[in-house]
Chain A
């Protein structure tokens, strides 16, 4: 008669299954592409995939919070661009130190997110509309501030050098140097990169951001309320939680991640490209959704989103290597997205 309901084995919980699904899909893609092309698994190419994932991945981290919360953020792509432009404005035009520029970029993103949050909670504008408005606003502001031209970080090469350097590679060289000081990897690093050299520093920034995001989502109050509000806002409100404030915080956090993405993309391209950005939000949302985040709220995970971001960049990279025209790559990405959500629905039935 002790009919205690046992918790299902944690591995078999639905959201984990979806993550396995996404992970399995990722592995399958990698296997297929590496069989189809020898170039695919070359360190340089892998480094390229990581680089491509970094920007979209950081955007997707923020978007994951908003979607689990039951909202949507369409503005992350252009907020990213605007943040990059502001960073360039501070560093190149106003000749401020690089760290100040970086801070300005992050702050710009966070402020845009804050504005989104206030529109949603105080002005009661639906998230779709509020962030769509922000998409246009930041797109326009980027062009206004930059006067329609890219701004280069020519006076501060260190910005790009640090971003595109590889701490991991340096570390590997130090270790190798201890055992074998005459190794060509140590003596001529440029001609003989170590296997980890293609992992650039900005990729590490992405992983660091992911770890922080996972911590916030899983271990903090903010994370708990993100799920609670996505699951049932009214019930959360009735429980005495200040829903408006937490929702604003979530949009601000998402903006902050977009700001970080802006700094990253600026450093990577060694410039702020004001015309870039639109379309990135869709990749970010796609990454979250492929990773099992539910657009109706209440479900999702950072690990899933990271996997989802890799699925998208591996797909793009692999198809490019196989010389599939770019327009077809887009078609395939769309198909994969629908397929992922379809499988998710089937599983839940």
Chain B
């Protein structure tokens, strides 16, 4: 497997690995996105975004429909050009270094239909030939994405999930250093989604791949990625690890409830560690944001009982990125 090994890259790879071992905080920037703007007929799809990505990072671009995720990722892939700003990958850019960059990346687009009447195996052979890979590589890929049993099926007859797996298979054929996946699990059932996650987790462990992934699913970002960037309306709203993101905003846990009658105001002052109360519908329904559920909940329940109120619905959970997003924009991520 000596495809995509290039002499200068070898040196860089070695350098990355050493740096990571020594300091765990590489200084070299793998992908550098600087003040990138892209407009469509005056509408700014990506608005002055700057982002640096380090080798080995798994980064999730999280955002609602139309946030600009695809536009941003495709500019990194060289499929669209920024109106303003620069993108460099390992110091190379899309104007001067098209050929080496194409060898470096593995991509899966938001929507790709393969050739209808070509089988899974033939599709992999076809793409393998573009990277000058032996046909043996197709077998390895089919094993990796669990499609060996479907190798003789025409792509048009694959299920949605199988097609996504094939797209991922094609993306990782050349053991890319940088993997860019645009909504790889949208529309998949939870099992299929988990299967894809496992493949990606393995890849990280095995090849130290760098991943940029776009998604609408908070759990996906949470599960797969060490770094999460939340995009909305072409701008970065938040950037950091899950912990960091949740910390930037008020911490806390949520007790959400519905009662038969209005909640008397004096109860609130007696709940330990209460940050605030979100009132919905005349106090019969609402959310308590508390420091610690284990302390607040028993007291809250006993107070409800003492005031002869009846609990219709009760739900306790930790704060999530969704709540963060709602707090920042007033909208939900999956809206």
A, B co-complexed:
no
- What residues of chain A have their CB less than 8 Å away from a CB belonging to chain B? none
- What residues of chain B have their CB less than 8 Å away from a CB belonging to chain A? none
